[in-house]
Structure 1
């Protein structure tokens, strides 16, 4: 059976209850948007990652790419 992952950004909740609800709906893991371009940071990411990890035991993170490869990679890693 395929694994299901939810894409979570600043627009979704950061509460543990939110992630528990996703799990009840059959979600297996979460991908949290951390950064975008070279200026945006998800202000809720820390709590989203922490609470999702408590619920799922694993969390992925991603960067929303705008086309400036090297600068954006450095920004994401920083």
Structure 2
């Protein structure tokens, strides 16, 4: 199963990596707290992982409109 990278704001798929090329501990041993893991790494029903991150377009929007940081989901 691949690891999917998806924008948490606009839900655009940014990319994916084959899971067999990554050690499962890779997802947990980097400097990320258990709370951040729960918020940003989603385990799917079939064993796949989705990492919630941010795409370039949304990052640019957040830089232009920093008040969007206060909103959990600002794209409707």
- Give the TM-score normalised by structure 1: 0.30
- Give the TM-score normalised by structure 2: 0.30
